[in-house]
Structure 1
Amino acid sequence: MTTPADVHDVRDPALPGRLLEAERDELLPLLRSRSADDLALPVAACPGWTARDLLAHCAAAFTRVLEGRLEKGVFTAESNERDIAERAGWDVPRVLDELERGMTGVGPLIARADGVLDLLALGEWVHAGDLRETFGVPGAYAGAGLVHALPLLAQVTRVQDHLPLHADLDDTDAPLRLGAAPGDRTPARYIGPAPVLVRLYGGRATAPSGYELAGATAEELSLFGW
């Protein structure tokens, strides 16, 4: 897998949609094969939520975008809980159908949002990793979507003016530049696997070994308030 070093410089509006479509094709068959007991498992990355709750949250988020219901206060903890409660009486196939419809249809809407919703696509992909980890599936934050997730991560961190970071990844041929253009702060440096980098930016716990991070703390990298 090759990640161009200059993806930092230009926003690709179609990138979030490509990521979600690639993830849809991998994730939905996995979800449709899981038992009710699997969907009742707690998700470590989302305290208080089961796998089914997380599915309901993701499906609802996409539906809000499709329906243009992005009013002030959306995606807060309270809003997320309301979305989950609204789907509590749905059967699982209905939730999965909503999720599939969203992952298929939101790409063009995110593309037209000038970067405002790019983080939503990245966040939902990280949540897919949360589900894989909950089910004990290997490669939780990797898979076919990683080739799209890495440049999207660079894109999102640039739009957010996040701290600059230079990543030398074990599983790509070129370094990845993330965050703001270098200025007063010397870019931080990461060396290690791409999935661990995703975990760090996602605020997910990771083993203290297996990667090197200098010039920043793991807490500083986190993009999400989960």
Structure 2
Amino acid sequence: MNDTVRPESAAGTESATQLYDASTARIAALVRDADPSTPVDACPGWTVEQLVAHLAGGLGDFLARRFDLAPGDDFGERTVRERRGQAVAESLAEWERHRAEAGDLLASPMGGVLVAEVVSHEQDLRTALGRPGARTDPGVRVGLTRPLEQIDQRLRESGGPAVRLMIDDEKEHRTIGEGEPVATLRVSAYDLLRTIGGRRTHDQARALDWDGDAEAALDSLTLFGSFRDTPLRGE
């Protein structure tokens, strides 16, 4: 069975809006007293200050539908570059202003994309600051929805190997890709989110609970096409 879980059903009674706001509040609490120059190894080249600037600027660009890029530019890098030197408090204030205008956006299908972004970066910050937490938050499961849809589409278009997933306590599996799965992965939502987001090494992904041809399946599991070279501290 290949089932697509919408954010609302995966989160129980919590909407994408509530999950986004909860993660935002946790991030604000994490960074207010943190050293803004702390490197965020999950986002190479960025500090805590720059990652918060990206979250603020990213939501602003989503609101403005500002997705066009100059040749060779990068969406994330642009948000940081445009806020060079902006203090964490200023970025939090900007983020709050954008959030006040984002109700309709969060209530739309785009809400799941924004939840994936914020919960992934929350975990990046937690890893950088040595403050683990919120790994079983419903937002983590919702954060899987859009990335898994993207991976599934890519595999179907490319003819890549299908993978069967058993996530947390789900009674029914889901399959990404088309055809008979080459392997089955039993995994927590948190571990899967970090793996498909490129926050794990190949060896870490291989060490998950696999049945079948894990090696053939591993390349199916990264949204951006590659694993890390070295493990993140705390992962």
Task: Give the drift of 1:223.
Answer: 1.8
Distance (Å, rounded) in 2 between the aligned partners of 1:225 and 1:97: 34
Residue of structure 1 equivalent to 2:158: none
Name the SS of the counterpart of 2:4 in structure 1: helix
CA distance in 2, matches of 1:184, 1:208: 22
* Amino acid in the other structure paired with 2:192: L
Change beyond 3 A, Cα 1:165–1:107 = farther
Q: Which has the higher contact order (CA 8 A, sep 6+)?
A: 1
What TM-score do you get using the length of structure 2 for normalisation? 0.70
8 A Cα contact 2:42 2:124, kept in partner: yes
Tell me: CA distance 1:10–1:47, structure 2 relative to 1, closer, same or farther (3 Å): closer
1:194 equivalenced with 2:189 (yes/no): yes
Question: CA shift at 1:136, angstroms?
Answer: 0.7
Partners in 2 of 1:41 and 1:211 — Cα distance? 30
Q: C-alpha offsets along residues 115-169 of structure 1, whole Å, 9 cap, x if unaligned?
A: 5x74343123211111110001123x7153xx13314413542365255543334
Q: Residues of 1 paired with 2:104 and 2:117: CA distance? A: 17
Matched residues, percent identical? 27
Q: Deviations over 1:144-201 (max 9, x none)?
A: 3xx13314413542365255543334x5354552535xx3242642123332111111
How many Å apart are 1:102 and its aligned residue? Answer: 4.1
The 3-state SS of whatever aligns with 2:26 is helix
Change (3 A) 1:179 1:137: same
Give 1:209 deviation, angstroms. 7.0
1:72 to 42, 60, 68: 68
Q: Which amino acid aligns with 1:136?
A: G
Q: How far apart, CA to CA, are the structure 2 residues paired with 1:223 and 1:121?
A: 16
1:149 equivalent in structure 2: 140
SS of corresponding position for 2:23: helix
2:118 is aligned with 1:121? no
Number of equivalent positions: 209
Matches of 2:31 and 2:114, distance apart in 1? 20
Q: Is the 8 A contact 2:16 2:106 kept in 1?
A: yes
The runs of 5 or more residues in structure 2 that have no matched partner are: 156-161, 227-235
1:204 aligns with 2:199: yes
Which whole-Å CA distance do the structure 2 matches of 1:106 and 1:187 have between them?
41
Aligned residue type for 1:219: D
**Does the 8 Å CA contact 1:166/1:175 hold for their aligned counterparts?**
no
Task: State the match for 1:81 in structure 2.
Answer: 77
Match of 1:221 in 2: 221
Q: Quote the residue 2:124 is aligned against.
A: 130
Cα distance in 1 between the residues matched to 2:103 and 2:221 = 26
Aligned counterpart, 2:60: 63
Given that 2:205 and 2:218 are in contact with CA atoms closer than 8 Å, whether structure 1 keeps it comes out as: no
Question: How many angstroms apart in 2 are the aligned matches of 1:175 and 1:217?
Answer: 20
Change (3 A) 1:217 1:7: closer
**Helix, strand or coil: the match of 1:148?**
helix
Q: Which runs of 5+ in 1 are unaligned?
A: none
| Native 8 Å contact 2:182 2:217 kept in 1 | no
What is the rounded CA distance, in whole Å, between the counterparts of 2:179 and 2:52 in structure 1? Answer: 41
Q: TM-score, normalised by structure 1?
A: 0.73
- Residue matched to 2:26: 26
